[in-house]
Chain A
C-alpha cells in the first residue's frame, strides 16, 4: 500500500468510523440506563435508511437538482430517516422491553427478545420493501470537493462527517447539560435512588431509546446515501458499532465515539493492507486485544458518571 493509498483508506475509515460512532451511541445510551445490549438497534438503523428512501421516493426528486433543492432533499431525507428510526426504537422499547421490565425478567431474556425483534423487523422490511438493494434517489451530484494529502473527499463523505460531528456534539450537550440528560445519568447511576428523587424511569428509558433511534436512523440514511438501502443492511454495521461501544467502554458516550472512530479506521486500513476479504478481522482482532489488556474498554465503563 503506497502512502497516497494509505490516506485514501484513512479518509474512508474516518467517514465510516463517524457513522459507527453515531450508531454506537445508541447502544451505549441504552446500556447506560438499562444495562442491556439492545441487539435490535441495527434494525433501527436499517429503518432509518428506509425512512429516507421512502420520503425521497414519495417526493420523487428531479434528476438534476439545483443547490437549494439538494439541501432540501438531504434535510428531508435525514429527518425522515431519523423519524422512522425514532419511531422504531420507541415501538421496540414499548413492545419488546417494557413488558419484560415489568416482569423483572433476567437480562438474557432481554437479549433473546432483542434477537427475536431483530429477526422480525428485518424480515418484515424485506417483505414490505423488496429484498434487493435500492439506491437513494439522486439528491445532488456527488463530485470531488477537495483533497487531503492526495486523498479525494466528495460531497457524501463530507456530509457524513459533518452531520456525524454535529450529532455527536448535540448529543454530548443533551446528555451533559439538559434536564433529560441528567435524568439519563441519574437512572444510569442508580435507578432506585433516581426514582426516589422523582425521576420518572419509564419516561427516561423511553426517551433514551428515542434519542438512540433518532441518531441511528439518521446514520442509516447517511449510510444508505453512501452505499445502498437493503433489508439486511443493519446487521454488519450494527455488530461493528456494538463492538465499538464495548471497545470504548460500554455506557460511556465519549467512549462510544472514540471506539467507533477507531474501528472504522482499523477496518479500512485492514482492507488497504490485506484486501476486502479481511475487512472485519482487523476490527475484531483489535477489539479482542484491547479487551485483554483493558477489560472495561478504552475509556473505561462510566455508566452514569459524566457521560
Chain B
C-alpha cells in the first residue's frame, strides 16, 4: 500500500501532504519559521542592553523598543527564506566543494600514518612552536597562558583518562586539583600548620601525587561499583565536601581567607634557578609537564592497561568475563586522573602563590568535563585543543563583549557545537565508532552511551 502512495505522490511534497490529509499550514516549514522568530527574540536579548535590578523591565523595554529586534528578525527571515526556497542550489555547491576538498586530506592522512619519522618531526615542530610562539605575546596573555590555559589543559588530560578511556563520569575532578594545591601549600610551610619538614616544590609533586592517589582510592574504592550517573553525583558530592572543608577548617587551611606565600619552584643542585613572577619560565615548565604526561599517556593508551580500559568502557560484563580485573583497572584510571590533577594543583599553587577555596568551585569541575567532551573524548589532540580553545575564548571575548556576558556565549557555543558535532572537534577513531555503535543500539554502553528513550523517528 505504501508503495502505491509513493508512486502517486511523485508530484512532490505538496501532493504527498494532500494525500496524507495534511493541511498547508501543517507543513514543517511554518514551525521552522516560528523557530526562527524565537531565535530572533533570543538574539535580541543576547545582544541587547544590560539590565538593572532597580527596574526589572529596563532591559526588555530597551531591547524591544529599539531597532535591534527588527534587524535580527530580518536576518532570521532571510536565513529561513534561503533555507526553504533555495536549499537545492546550496546543497549542490556544498556537495561539489566537499568532493573537491577530499583528496588533500586523504593525502595528509596517508603521509601521517605511513611514516613514523614524519610524525615525530611534525610533533617536535608543534612543541617548538608551542614553546616559542608565546614570546611575542603581551604579558597579560602570558599570565592567561600559564594560570589558566596550561593548568586547564593539564586537568583535561587527566580527566580524559577517567572519562575518555575508562568511561567513568567524574564531576568532582577539581577537588583533586584543590588537594594538590593545598599539599603544595602545606609542604612549603604556607599553611597555618607546620609540616614536619619543608620540601622543595619539585619534591612536593610526588608527595602531592601520592596524596591525591590516596584520596582517589578512598573515594573510588567504595563508589566505583556505582553506575555512571550515581558515580557522577557522588564525585560531585566529594567535590563539595572538599571545597567546604577547605573553607571551614581555618586552623588547617586558612579558611576562606585563603593561603598566601606559597613558594615558587626552584632548583638548587650545583646550579640554582628560581622561577619568579615572570610567567614565561612557568609556561615552559608547565609545557614540559604537559609534553611528558601526554607522552606517558599515549604509551598507556595502547598498553595492556589502556586496552583493559577500552574493554571495560565498551562492555564491563564482557571485560570481567574475559579476565579483566575491572575494579582494579577502574581504580587505576581514577587514581591516575586524580594524580594528574594533583600535579596541576601543585603547579598552580606555586605559580600564583596566593589562592583560596573560591579558586576551586564546582563550576570548574563541570567546565573541565565540558572541555574534554568538546574537544573529543579519548583523543589527546582533541582534549588539548578543547581545553586550550575554551579557556582562551572567554579571555578573548573580554575585548568584544561585556565581560560579564562571556560565559553566556560559551554556553551557547557548547549547545550549538554539541548539536551539530556531538563527537567533539577531534574525536578519537575508536571512540567515534563506539558512539556510532551505541547509537545504533548495537552495544549497551556505560555512562556515555545513548539514552534509552532517545530514539525519535
User: Contact residues of A with B, CB < 8 Å?
Assistant: 31, 33-37, 53-54, 57-58, 91, 95-96, 98-113, 115-121, 123-124, 126-134, 187-188, 191-192, 195, 201-202, 205, 239, 242-243, 246, 250, 277-281, 284-285, 287-288, 291-292, 295-296
> In the complex, what residues of A have CB within 8 A of residue B308's CB?
none
For the complex of A and B, the 3 pairs showing the least CB-CB separation, nearest first, are: A116-B414, A119-B411, A130-B53
User: Which of B66-74, B189-197, B264-272, B443-451 touches A?
Assistant: B443-451
Instruction: Check if B237 is an interface residue, CB within 8 A of chain A.
Output: yes
Contact string, B219-239, partner A, CB cutoff 8 A, digits 1/0? 000110111111011101110
Q: Does the CB pair B408–A124 fall under 8 Å?
A: yes
Interface centre among A31, A33, A115, A132 (most CB of B within 10 A): A115
Residue in contact with A288 in the complex, picked from B52, B223, B248, B448, CB distance below 8 Å? B223
> In the complex, what residues of A have CB within 8 A of residue B438's CB?
106
Least CB distance, A220 to chain B, in whole angstroms: 15
> In the complex, what residues of B have CB within 8 A of residue A132's CB?
53
Q: A130-B56, A281-B240 are in contact. Are A112 and B414 (CB under 8 A)?
A: yes
Query: B-side binding surface: helix, strand, loop or mixed?
Result: helix
Residue of B nearest to A135 (CB): B53
> In the complex, what residues of B have CB within 8 A of residue A291's CB?
223, 226, 230, 233-234
> B residues 397-438 with Cβ under 8 Å of A?
402, 404-405, 407-408, 410-415, 417-419, 422, 435, 438
Instruction: Check if B352 is an interface residue, CB within 8 A of chain A.
Output: no
Least CB distance, B275 to chain A, in whole angstroms: 34
Instruction: Check if B370 is an interface residue, CB within 8 A of chain A.
Output: yes
Q: Does the CB pair A104–B454 fall under 8 Å?
A: yes
Q: A108-B373, A112-B414 are in contact. Are A281 and B452 (CB under 8 A)?
A: no
> In the complex, what residues of B have CB within 8 A of residue A279's CB?
244
CA distance A281 to B407 in the complex (A): 28
Q: A101-B454, A284-B237 are in contact. Are A113 and B415 (CB under 8 A)?
A: yes
Residue in contact with B447 in the complex, picked from A100, A108, A120, CB distance below 8 Å? A108
Q: A105-B439, A108-B377 are in contact. Are A113 and B233 (CB under 8 A)?
A: no
CA distance A104 to B454 in the complex (A): 6
CA distance A202 to B455 in the complex (A): 9
Residue in contact with B404 in the complex, picked from A109, A131, A278, CB distance below 8 Å? A131
Q: Does the CB pair A113–B408 fall under 8 Å?
A: no
Q: Does the CB pair A277–B248 fall under 8 Å?
A: yes
Residue of A nearest to B50 (CB): A127
> In the complex, what residues of B have CB within 8 A of residue A96's CB?
415, 419
List 7 contacting pairs A-B, 8 Å CB cutoff, sorted by A: A31-B229, A54-B57, A99-B419, A104-B450, A119-B410, A119-B411, A201-B455
CA distance A146 to B323 in the complex (A): 65
Instruction: Check if B100 is an interface residue, CB within 8 A of chain A.
Output: no
> In the complex, what residues of B have CB within 8 A of residue A111's CB?
169, 369, 373
Residue in contact with A34 in the complex, picked from B53, B369, B374, B452, CB distance below 8 Å? B452
Instruction: Check if B9 is an interface residue, CB within 8 A of chain A.
Output: no
> B residues 18-59 with Cβ under 8 Å of A?
38, 45-46, 50-54, 56-57, 59
How extensive is the interface on chain B, given as a class? 35 or more
> In the complex, what residues of B have CB within 8 A of residue A121's CB?
411
Q: Does the CB pair B422–A33 fall under 8 Å?
A: no
Least CB distance, B362 to chain A, in whole angstroms: 7
CA distance A107 to B369 in the complex (A): 13
> In the complex, what residues of B have CB within 8 A of residue A133's CB?
53
Q: Does the CB pair B435–A106 fall under 8 Å?
A: yes
Residue in contact with B53 in the complex, picked from A99, A102, A110, A131, CB distance below 8 Å? A131
Instruction: Check if B120 is an interface residue, CB within 8 A of chain A.
Output: no
Q: A130-B51, A130-B56 are in contact. Are A108 and B456 (CB under 8 A)?
A: no
Q: Does the CB pair A284–B240 fall under 8 Å?
A: yes
Q: Does the CB pair A112–B241 fall under 8 Å?
A: no
> In the complex, what residues of B have CB within 8 A of residue A192's CB?
455
Instruction: Check if B453 is an interface residue, CB within 8 A of chain A.
Output: yes
Q: Does the CB pair B418–A128 fall under 8 Å?
A: no
Least CB distance, B431 to chain A, in whole angstroms: 9
CA distance A296 to B413 in the complex (A): 34
Q: Does the CB pair A201–B453 fall under 8 Å?
A: yes
> In the complex, what residues of B have CB within 8 A of residue A295's CB?
225-227, 230
Q: Give me 9 other A-B pairs in contact (C-beta within 8 A), A127-B46, A129-B56, A284-B238 excluded.
A: A37-B232, A104-B455, A111-B169, A115-B414, A123-B407, A128-B51, A129-B51, A239-B236, A292-B223
